[in-house]
Structures are given as structure tokens and as C-alpha cells.
């Protein structure tokens, strides 16, 4: 290569480098990336891995998921650090809307919670359908119980069940009642390692591989119903929220295409989530 060609090449590279660096920096926003604050159950169950590529393919909008407990995900929305929230604690979601942080709230899908525990079942739960009686037996036996303790939708549901059972698990804190402050996957791993009981969402349970001696012991109680909702973060409160792109995500996930994508996600032939966007919001 002659010195003239080398000089021209270096000049071209020097000119192009800033442009290339700028493209790497702005490309995600320029192509319509949105942030969805959601739950560990939607992420760790594999649902997002199934449906988000379909959304991006159909709309050209990429999605970055921030997977946290529902309480934390709603806080992310309150701060305006997400465009959409997709969570599963209806009471907390309705407070979010009432505060003006986002909305309206829409039903998306449901599944249920299960109480799982060691196959030896020292608290004798097998065969029960009453989840509150199951918790009373766990407390009476002082059998190890793993709580997520992370303000998630699952944690909120667990606390409601303890209240309905008229049991204060705090009396066993640090002994048989063990809070880990982590998501569903780590909670399942901890329960498997410690031969402990826990409340789990069925989606993550079905996708969980490290079950060891854990088995589902209590299911089918109406108290274990698990509804998910979706909301756009309020762009009037946070002008940087990508309202148009975020609304396209909300509209898509409520549409026949989005609902079909949710229904099609199965593990070993078993459906993990059941779409119900058509259900009236007044229904539970």
C-alpha cells in the first residue's frame, strides 16, 4: 500500500470512527427500544423469551426487560425509569393507577400459585386444597418455609395467605420462617437445598429444573389465583416515557396476536399462562 493510499485510509477511518461510535450509542433508541419493568416470574418462566421476539418482529420495537419483584417494578415505573409495567399484584397495581403513576390497568393473563415442599412432607400437606390450612400446619410443625421477602407479587400473595390463616410468620423469622429477599428461581433453589416449603407461581415451577426432592403439595384453592396486569407509565408525569411505542406494546399484548403468543407458550405440553385480556376489569 502506497503512503497516499495509507493516508487516505487513515483519514477515512478517523472520519468514520465517531459516526460508528455514535451509531452504537443511539441505535437502540432510534430503532424504538422500550423498557418494560416486570416480574421475575415472567422472565424466569421463559415467557418473555417466547413472546418478545414475536412483538419485535411484528412492530420493529425492541424490548428491554427489567425483571424485579412487583413492588420494585412498580417503583421503577413511579420513577419513570420504564415505559410499561407488567406485574401481578392487583391491589398494588390499582394503587399505582390511583396515584397517577400510570394506567389504565388491563388484565393480560393468569395462572396460579402452588405450595411446594419436600416429598417427605413433615407438615402433612399432601391432599389438601385449603392453602390457609396448609400454612397453619407448616407453622404448627415449625417446618422450614422459604419466603421471597422481596415485595414481589408472590410475596404479597404469600402474606395475604398467612393473614387469612391467622398466623404471624414473623414469630418464626430466622428459625423456621426464612426470608431471602430474592426472586422465584433463587427461592426454589433455596427450598430444594433446605427441604423447605414455599409458595411458587406455577409458570416458574414448571420451568424449574433443580427440583431435587420438591413436589407440589397444595393446589387448586381459589385463593391461589394469580392475575397479571399491564399499564403504560404516565407520560404526562414523565415526558421522556416512550408513550407511542409503549402503547403499541400494551395494545399488542392485549390483541389476538399477543394473547395467542401467550397461550402458545408451553413446557412439556403444559400451558404456563392463560390469556384473559377480554375479561372485564371489574372481574377478579
Domains of the chain by range and CATH?
A: 32-110+227-275 (3.40.190.10), 111-224 (3.40.190.10)
SS3 107: strand
Q: What are phi and psi of 173, to 5 degrees?
A: -60, 135
Which residues have CB under 8 Å from 262's CB, separation 6+?
A: 47, 51, 108, 109, 253, 273, 274, 275
For residue 14, the model assigns a pLDDT of 38
User: Is 219 in a helix, a strand, or coil?
Assistant: coil
Residues 169-197 as b or e (16 or more Cβ within 10 Å = b): beebeeebbbbbebbbbbbbbbbbeebbb
CA 26, CA 128: separation in Å to the nearest integer?
Answer: 55
Identify the three-state secondary structure at position 180. coil
Rounded to an integer, what distance in angstroms lies between the CA atom of residue 118 and that of residue 219?
Answer: 15
At residue 38, the pLDDT reads 96
Which pLDDT does position 7 carry in this prediction?
A: 38
**pLDDT the model gives residue 281:** 66
**Environment class of 97 (CB within 10 Å of its CB; exposed 0-12, middle 13-18, buried 19+):** middle
Q: Which residues of the chain have pLDDT under 50?
A: 1-30
Amino acid at each position: 500500500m502506497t503512503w497516499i493510499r495509507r493516508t487516505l485510509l487513515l483519514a477515512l477511518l478517523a472520519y468514520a470512527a465517531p459516526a460508528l461510535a455514535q451509531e452504537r450509542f443511539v441505535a437502540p433508541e432510534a430503532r424504538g427500544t422500550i423498557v418494560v419493568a416486570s416480574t421475575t416470574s415472567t422472565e424466569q418462566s421463559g415467557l418473555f423469551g417466547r413472546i418478545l421476539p414475536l412483538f419485535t418482529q411484528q412492530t420493529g420495537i425492541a424490548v428491554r426487560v427489567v425483571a424485579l419483584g412487583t413492588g420494585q417494578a412498580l417503583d421503577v415505573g413511579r420513577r419513570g425509569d420504564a415505559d410499561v409495567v407488567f406485574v401481578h399484584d392487583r391491589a398494588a397495581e390499582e394503587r399505582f393507577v390511583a396515584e397517577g403513576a400510570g394506567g389504565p390497568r388491563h388484565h393480560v393473563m393468569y395462572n396460579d400459585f402452588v405450595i411446594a415442599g419436600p416429598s417427605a412432607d413433615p407438615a402433612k400437606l399432601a391432599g389438601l386444597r385449603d392453602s390457609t390450612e396448609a400454612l397453619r400446619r407448616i407453622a404448627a410443625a415449625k417446618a422450614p418455609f422459604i419466603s421471597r421477602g422481596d415485595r414481589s407479587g408472590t410475596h404479597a400473595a404469600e402474606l395475604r395467605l398467612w393473614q387469612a390463616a391467622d398466623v404471624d410468620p414473623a414469630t418464626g423469622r430466622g428459625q423456621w420462617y426464612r426470608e431471602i429477599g430474592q426472586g422465584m428461581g433463587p427461592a426454589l433453589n433455596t427450598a430444594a437445598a433446605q427441604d423447605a416449603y414455599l409458595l411458587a407461581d406455577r409458570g416458574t415451577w414448571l420451568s424449574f429444573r433443580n427440583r431435587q426432592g420438591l413436589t407440589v403439595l397444595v393446589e387448586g384453592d381459589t385463593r391461589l389465583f394469580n392475575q397479571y396486569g399491564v399499564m403504560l407509565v404516565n407520560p404526562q408525569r414523565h415526558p421522556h416515557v416512550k408513550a407511542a411505542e409503549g402503547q403499541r406494546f400494551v395494545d399488542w399484548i392485549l390483541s389476538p396476536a399477543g394473547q395467542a403468543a401467550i397461550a402458545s407458550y408451553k413446557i412439556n405440553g403444559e400451558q404456563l399462562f392463560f390469556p384473559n385480556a377480554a375479561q372485564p376489569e371489574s372481574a377478579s
